[in-house]
């Protein structure tokens, strides 16, 4: 049937990849359907209206059905996404041996958002070997649940470059996994949640705009750090991500060694960054 077209979505795409005997090079198109980007829902909203939705988005995320549902329904829908897609379909189709371990891994990663992640430490806490931890993280990346942010380095001896940061594509999934959907005023992790939100939204934005930009964080052994770094088109841009901070000081080493740009992203100006190119 030469004219037959097959659309494989969600976990079925894993099943197809695992069972197809020959490559589909030249006969397939791959579409990455991420949760809504902030710029997508902003097309019919002004910045004030969009900002009024911010806390709800931080808490419940931007999966389409979650975003369009009432607050009373959002928790149940998040739970259904986790249980039906993540823990049932994806994990069964990929033959994960220790389902409980990958649940525990996701919780550990959710609590470590914004921090460097030690695979060795994770393996010790989960009582599984490092290779298995890395395989599970790779699977979760392929399922578009999480993504890694590597350290930026020019091989200076002062730089910390061995461990990645790991973020969630959707903050609602992250919050559901740690059973914390409390308002921001009642949370102790609002800074980590804000950083995850900004980095994930910027990632989706760059993806949809098809910009060839490499993304990192930067840190030194002496404590100097930049939360998020972009390198592309011959430019190097560093961003400090703080929800309410009014001022930020650029690390001296960043200026002297890299001559990179530096910018604070907070509640006052985040839309300037995340709406760039998205309302056209």
261 within a domain of the structure (yes/no) = yes
d(C-alpha 144, C-alpha 203), whole Å: 12
Q: Comparing 21 with 72, which gets the higher pLDDT?
A: 72
Q: Is the pLDDT of residue 21 over 50?
A: no
Q: Residue 229 phi/psi, 5° resolution?
A: -130, 140
Q: Would you tell me the crossing angle of helices 99-111 and 119-126 to the nearest 10 degrees?
A: 130
Tens digit of pLDDT for each residue in 190-203?
999 999 999 999 99
4 within a domain of the structure (yes/no) = no
The secondary structure of 186-247 as a DSSP string is G-S-HHHHHHHHHHHHHHHHHHHTT---EEEEEEBTTS-EEEEEEEETTEEEEEEE-SS---
1 within a domain of the structure (yes/no) = no
3 within a domain of the structure (yes/no) = no
Q: Report CA torsion sign: 270, 146, 116, 107.
A: positive
5 within a domain of the structure (yes/no) = no
Residue 146: which residues within 8 A CB-CB, separation 6 or more? 106, 109, 137, 140, 166, 167, 168, 169
The count of structural domains within the chain is 1
Residue-averaged pLDDT of the chain: 86
Q: Comparing 156 with 237, which gets the higher pLDDT?
A: 237
Residue 34 is predicted with a pLDDT of: 85
Q: Which domain holds residue 96?
A: 11-274
Only one residue has tokens 């030194």, namely 220
Q: Is the pLDDT of residue 71 over 70?
A: yes
Structure tokens at 50: 């969009």
Residue 126 is predicted with a pLDDT of: 94
CA distances from residue 126 to 120, 162, 260, 265 in whole angstroms, order as listed: 10, 21, 39, 35
171 within a domain of the structure (yes/no) = yes
Residue 189 is predicted with a pLDDT of: 95
Residue 99 is predicted with a pLDDT of: 76
Residue 120 is predicted with a pLDDT of: 94
The percent of residues above 90 in pLDDT, for the chain, comes to 56
Only one residue has tokens 């997508």, namely 40
pLDDT band at 18 (very low <50, low <70, confident <90, very high): low
Residue 2 is predicted with a pLDDT of: 61
29 within a domain of the structure (yes/no) = yes
Residue 156 is predicted with a pLDDT of: 65
221 within a domain of the structure (yes/no) = yes
Tens digit of pLDDT for each residue in 98-119?
778 888 999 999 999 999 999 9
- The pTM score is 0.89
Q: Is the pLDDT of residue 66 over 90?
A: yes
Structure tokens at 190: 């609002």
């Amino acid at each position: 049937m030469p004219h037959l077209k097959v659309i494989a979505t969600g976990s079925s795409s894993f099943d197809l990849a695992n069972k197809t005997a020959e490559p589909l090079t030249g006969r397939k198109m791959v579409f990455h359907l991420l949760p809504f980007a902030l710029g997508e829902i902003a097309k019919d909203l002004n910045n004030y209206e969009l900002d009024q939705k911010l806390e709800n988005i931080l808490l419940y995320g931007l999966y389409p059905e979650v975003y369009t549902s009432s607050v009373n329904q959002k928790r149940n829908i998040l739970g259904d996404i986790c249980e039906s897609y993540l823990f049932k379909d994806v994990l069964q189709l990929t033959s994960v041996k220790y389902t409980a371990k990958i649940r525990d891994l996701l919780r550990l990663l959710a609590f470590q958002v914004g921090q460097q992640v030690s695979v060795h430490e994770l393996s010790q806490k989960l009582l599984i070997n490092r290779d298995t931890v890395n395989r599970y993280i790779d699977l979760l990346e392929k399922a578009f649940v999480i993504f890694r942010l590597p350290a930026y380095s020019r091989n200076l001896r002062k730089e910390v470059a061995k461990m990645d940061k790991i973020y969630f594509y959707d903050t609602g999934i992250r919050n559901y996994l740690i059973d914390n959907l409390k308002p921001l005023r009642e949370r102790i992790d609002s800074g980590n949640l804000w950083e995850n939100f900004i980095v994930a939204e910027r990632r989706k934005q760059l993806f949809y705009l098809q910009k060839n930009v490499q993304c990192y964080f930067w840190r030194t052994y002496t404590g100097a750090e930049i939360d998020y770094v972009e390198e592309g088109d011959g430019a190097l841009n560093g961003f400090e991500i703080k929800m309410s901070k009014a001022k930020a000081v650029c690390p001296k080493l960043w200026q002297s060694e890299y001559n990179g740009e530096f910018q604070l992203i907070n509640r006052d100006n985040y839309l300037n960054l995340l709406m760039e190119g998205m309302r056209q």
